[in-house]
Chains A and B, each alone.
Chain A
Amino acid sequence: MKELVVISGKGGTGKTSLTASFAALARKAVLADCDVDAADLHLILQPEVRRRESFVSGREAVIREADCAGCGRCAALCRFEAISAVARDSDGARVFRIDSAACEGCGVCTWNCPAKAIDFPERTCGEWFVSATRHGPMVHARLAPGAENSGKLVALVREQARETARQSKRDLVLVDGPPGTGCPVIAAVTNANAILVVTEPTVSGFHDLSRVLQLAAHFRIPAAVCVNKWDIHPDMADRIEDQARSAGAVPVGRVRYGPEATDAQRRKLAVVEAGNSPLADDIRVVWQNWLDSTAESGEKESR
């Protein structure tokens, strides 16, 4: 089984639009949307949810106000600025509250509360789904607003996608990855067979590409690079491909700037499904080149 991951470094470069087209071109893939913080692939692929599970990760501290003596030890010990006095009660004692969004789930307040007034329940951080789409099974997820994007949900979506591929006898998992270089991206690329970085010919794209290629090198994953909207700044497109080569990555093609991407999105179609266009042709070439470039790593069993 082969697991191919599309990432971008900088957000908004067209990663998901390309992934949707790749899903249509791949035909027999299992799709995984690992951009769990801002998942958009489902807007194109319109999945029918077949299985829905909640995602529980870590814990969060909650003060039982009735038992709280207002001593403030929790607020003094919390290193995440999550606890503050919000009011005084009728006896004049301070009332403390924990900001759930800031709580790191470390338990320091819970273990050290003299009145044992702080509960520490498990935290539901989102949901994940296994669905059917017109281009094959899809595993996707939704992170609860403000939840910690720990990478664990990303790892879980990938694992479920591989499991789905094994069960449905499909030998390709296509992953729409998250932007950035932090924890969710690391979770999306570790042990993958190959990654494709979708970038754009801008100073930001150039800057972020170098960080994301360092990451690929760090985890020893073969990387390919696609310059989207290349004609906005052709010189920069050249520079980006040079940079890619010197970082050991393979340029696999360019996609032009055009309204077709957003138009297709509005019709809930991948660009390659929305009729013939030069943009669609560009995408077909990129997909074929990327597949060819990963042919050698294909025999390595994805873990």
Chain B
Amino acid sequence: MSSSPSIAIASGKGGTGKTTVAVHLAAWLAGRGHEIQYLDCDVEEPNGHLFLKPEIKAAEPAAIPVPVVDMNRCTACGKCAAVCEFNAIAMLKKPMVFPELCHGCGACTLVCPVDAIREEPRDIGTVETGLAGPIRFAQGRLNVGEPMSPPLIRAVKIRRDPAAIALFDSPPGTSCPVIATVRAADFIVLVTEPSPFGLHDLTLAVETFRPMGLPFGVVVNRADPADERVQDFCRQQEIPVLAELPDDRRVAETYARGELLFDRLPEWRDRMAALWARIEERL
């Protein structure tokens, strides 16, 4: 393989243990001497740092390009406002830009017949990079009140170094920020739990990822021998179950404190080893 694989850790439902799986996989792989990059793409609620505790060395603003109209050149033709699909430019007496609605597509700049529009960056969040022991760490932090996360997710993902195994911690759900995260990943790990909510949201995630043609497998977290509905679903759908992580109050308590599980529950090392072996055979 010319470059190391990238793995997205996602989940249809929030709170199923996506970050738990991602940080433990990262820590285990790093402990085995692999070069690891942890990229937290859950930019609305980035939480991986709470467990990996990286030393942040750099914080760079992430921005999207928004138009600025040179009123001396503008002939008030109105083409920029007409072409904007996002209603970010109003044609009043002259064009008025609403940068918070702009998606940064560049349509207005291209259409302006007199080159009166240039673009300026508008910050939507921050990309922080650093080191968590041997793990190279990056995370996006969306500004509070900012609606648009995919450009920030893309800004996190361009930190990807093909020489390292990359783990993308995805936002929950199946909508556009998730797509922005899992695109171009080599494999998706879907973390779910054996409850009606967990199964329902897993079904939605499968419906989303299958047409994209990306390979994926399922991790059943808080597995309960009395409830095999997720495993049954996976069998029917021919989806590999990569790991079943047992329900254990000690896991919840350790997680609550922001600690890694390996000290208190050393068997989690073996679990991560087994999980990685199952992922690797599918790459």
Contacts and interface: CB of A to CB of B under 8 A. Distances in A.
Interface in B32-77: 44-45, 47, 50-51
Contacts of B172: 11-12, 37-38, 179
Contacts of B227: 266
Contacts of A79: 104-106
Interface string B200-221: 1100100110011000000000
Contacts of B12: 38
B264 to A, nearest CB: 14
A240 to B, nearest CB: 11
B14 interface: yes
Q: Chain A CB within 10 Å — which of B45, B50, B144, B252 has the most?
A: B45
A37 B106 contact: no
Given A10-B14, A111-B111, A211-B45, A203 B175 contact: no
A104 B199 CA distance: 30
Interface string A5-27: 00011111100100000000000
A201 B253 CA distance: 9
A85 interface: no
B144 A214 contact: yes
A115 B88 CA distance: 28
B174 A257 contact: no
A266 B230 CA distance: 13
A81 B180 CA distance: 10
Interface in B247-266: 249, 252-253, 255-258
A130 B103 CA distance: 32
Interface stretch (A165-173, A181-189, A246-254): A181-189
B258 A182 contact: no
Nearest to B142: A182
A106 B105 contact: yes
A107 B105 CA distance: 9
A191 interface: no
B15 interface: yes
Nearest to B64: A79
A148 B197 contact: no
Contacts of A106: 85-86, 103, 105, 107
A145 interface: yes
A180 B153 CA distance: 15
A232 B204 contact: no
User: What is the interface residue range for chain B against chain A?
Assistant: 35 or more
User: What is the interface residue range for chain A against chain B?
Assistant: 35 or more
B148 interface: yes
B133 interface: no
Interface string B11-25: 011111001000000
A43 B253 CA distance: 28
Given A101-B212, A179-B172, A204-B19, A40 B50 contact: no
Interface in A27-61: 37-38, 40, 43, 58-59
B171 interface: yes
A146 interface: yes
Contacts of A233: 253, 256-257
Contacts of B47: 10, 203-204, 207-208
Interface string A101-140: 1101111100110000000000000000000000000000
A38 B204 contact: yes
B175 A148 contact: yes
Nearest to A147: B175
Interface in A57-99: 58-59, 77, 79-81, 99
Given A43-B200, A182-B148, A262-B195, 16 more contacts: A11-B15, A12-B172, A38-B13, A38-B174, A38-B201, A40-B196, A145-B208, A179-B15, A179-B172, A182-B149, A183-B149, A185-B44, A202-B255, A202-B256, A204-B255, A207-B47
26 contacts: A11-B45, A13-B15, A37-B173, A38-B174, A38-B204, A40-B196, A43-B196, A58-B85, A59-B85, A79-B104, A102-B183, A106-B85, A111-B110, A143-B175, A146-B176, A148-B176, A179-B172, A180-B44, A202-B255, A203-B257, A208-B45, A214-B144, A218-B145, A257-B252, A262-B195, A268-B196
> Which 9 pairs across A and B sit closest by C-beta, in order of nearness?
A12-B15, A11-B14, A106-B105, A183-B147, A203-B258, A149-B175, A145-B208, A233-B256, A180-B44
Interface of A: 8-13, 16, 37-38, 40, 43, 58-59, 77, 79-81, 99, 101-102, 104-108, 111-112, 143, 145-149, 151, 179-186, 200-204, 207-208, 211, 214-215, 218, 229, 232-233, 236, 257, 262, 265-266, 268
